[in-house]
Amino acid sequence: MPCQHNLKVWLREYIEAAGIGEDGNGPLFRTVDRKTKTLLCYLYCTVDQ
């Protein structure tokens, strides 16, 4: 599937900045706790109603 040629670099920078590189089984995009400004390891899911 074609994608932006810089995607690999951007994902590596995001993972490093987010500090989630050691968590290989956790979700890539995480929820932010607005009170503590920390990343949570919850999966984002939607329910069709």
In DSSP terms, 40 is beta-bridged to 31
Residue 49 confidence (pLDDT) above 50: no
Confidence of residue 46 (pLDDT cuts 50, 70, 90): low
pTM for this prediction: 0.60
Q: Which residues pair with 39 in a beta bridge?
A: 32
pLDDT of res. 9: 93
Which residues are 31's β-sheet partners? Answer: 40
Residue with tokens 């690999």: 8
pLDDT for the residue 10 = 93
pLDDT band at 38 (very low <50, low <70, confident <90, very high): confident
**Both structure tokens of 35:** 């009170």
